Chains A and B, each alone.
Chain A
């Protein structure tokens, strides 16, 4: 009985806090994506040859953890199979946040675009079983900075 109450408390806490944080984060993401839209991130490996851009590696990394509610949902989903929608939004946020951080770094360097953008992901909970459910999403690319004398 005690365990059930604890479970319910953790679930509702995870749900309320997690949903609030997610909504706030999405608002912030949409807002910053709008502002940084003028700085395109391009997947192509072949940057324009003219003018002779300065190049710099820019990275953006996000580490996210799963809240109790989402973990519970995902565990249930494991029984039946199908899309783990609870994790989809989490990873979507992480990808977009990483890209934004990368772009912010590029903007700080005065870059006009970022080329050869790639994503990497790493699980931090490796070997720890269920104790830590965290994942890192890293976005990196080559920032192209227009030469100042032109």
Chain B
């Protein structure tokens, strides 16, 4: 009997798919699934968070965290303006707004849990007139009115829980430090809605929308100056400033709101108040 081994053609036991192609298909699929699940969880978390009564939201913010560097006159002025904005926005009575002025140079302002709004001197001192300040306040108050901070945190926590389940590191610490979520990221829809509500509010207070868009021009200039330029819309939770300006111009045109009114100047002492806030922040006197 003659024994021999035949030559077996290659590629029977080994798949001939290119490993890089396989990598692309698999990572693509995994990312797609992850994005889908994140969106689903985010929606779910946001919906749940919205059910939390506002009174409980207030309890989530440690009082010690928030301070104000504003002098009594500035605080009173901001309070008066925010009351007018609240009335226009038709804020429910239990939604008490608390304004905090940070004397730092940061060019920013944000709304966080429990109706707390933090304004930075770095932004305020660059505002050209009261209309822009009202626009800013109205925008932040609109976030509070829409419950965006708690919804944002609900979404964040739900997505973190998902990631924790998938990756193994449970990030439930986020629950404990929810009040520290000062730099919340809102979705573009939230920003759009806040913009529209804010513009409506400014129209309601002054009878026209002149100067409201100056706030966004200022942001655009600031972003260009800081070197980062405008980030592509998809990377930024704030829709591109130019897009926002356009959206507001469209809204004003649709509603037939006048853009030819007179802007209201800021109080004469405003600059002095800002300097006072800066020195309060520097000296640590609160």
CB-CB < 8 A to B225: which residues of A? none
Does B29 lie within 8 Å of A80, measured CB to CB?
yes
Does B5 lie within 8 Å of A48, measured CB to CB?
no
Give A11 Cβ to nearest chain B Cβ, in Å: 8
CB-CB < 8 A to B26: which residues of A? 73, 76-77, 79-80
B22 touches which one: A37, A41, A42, A86 (CB < 8 A)? A86
Q: Of the listed stretches B9-17, B65-73, B129-137, B244-252, name the one at the interface; the rest are far from the partner chain.
A: B9-17
Is B20 an interface position by the 8 A CB rule? yes
Measured in the bound complex, the distance between the Cα atoms of B4 and A132 in whole Å is 38
Task: Tell me how many residues of A have a C-beta within 8 Å of chain B.
Answer: 22
Does B15 lie within 8 Å of A48, measured CB to CB?
no
Measured in the bound complex, the distance between the Cα atoms of B12 and A88 in whole Å is 10
A19 touches which one: B15, B19, B33 (CB < 8 A)? B19
Interface secondary structure of A, over-half rule = helix
Measured in the bound complex, the distance between the Cα atoms of B30 and A72 in whole Å is 12
Q: Interface size bucket, B side? A: 10 to 19
**In the complex, which residue of chain A has the Cβ closest to the Cβ of B3?**
A40
Is A145 an interface position by the 8 A CB rule? no
A76 touches which one: B1, B15, B20, B27 (CB < 8 A)? B27
Does B19 lie within 8 Å of A69, measured CB to CB?
yes
Give B37 Cβ to nearest chain A Cβ, in Å: 12
Give A97 Cβ to nearest chain B Cβ, in Å: 14
With A37-B7, A85-B22: A92-B14 Cβ-Cβ less than 8 Å: yes
Is A102 an interface position by the 8 A CB rule? no
Does A40 lie within 8 Å of B5, measured CB to CB?
yes
Measured in the bound complex, the distance between the Cα atoms of B17 and A72 in whole Å is 16
CB-CB < 8 A to B13: which residues of A? 88, 92
Is A83 an interface position by the 8 A CB rule? yes
Is B260 an interface position by the 8 A CB rule? no
CB-CB < 8 A to A83: which residues of B? 15
Measured in the bound complex, the distance between the Cα atoms of B13 and A92 in whole Å is 7
Measured in the bound complex, the distance between the Cα atoms of B2 and A48 in whole Å is 10
A-B contact pairs, 27 of them (CB 8 A): A15-B19, A37-B5, A37-B7, A40-B3, A40-B4, A40-B5, A41-B5, A48-B1, A70-B19, A73-B19, A73-B23, A73-B26, A76-B27, A77-B26, A79-B26, A79-B29, A79-B30, A79-B33, A80-B29, A85-B17, A86-B22, A88-B13, A88-B14, A88-B15, A89-B15, A92-B13, A92-B14
Query: Which 7 A-B pairs rank lowest in CB-CB distance, beginning with the nearest?
Result: A85-B15, A76-B26, A40-B5, A89-B14, A40-B3, A92-B13, A92-B14
| Known contacts A85-B22, A88-B13; 17 further A-B pairs (Cβ under 8 A) | A15-B19, A19-B19, A37-B5, A41-B5, A69-B19, A70-B19, A72-B23, A73-B22, A73-B26, A76-B23, A76-B27, A76-B30, A80-B29, A83-B15, A86-B22, A92-B13, A113-B3
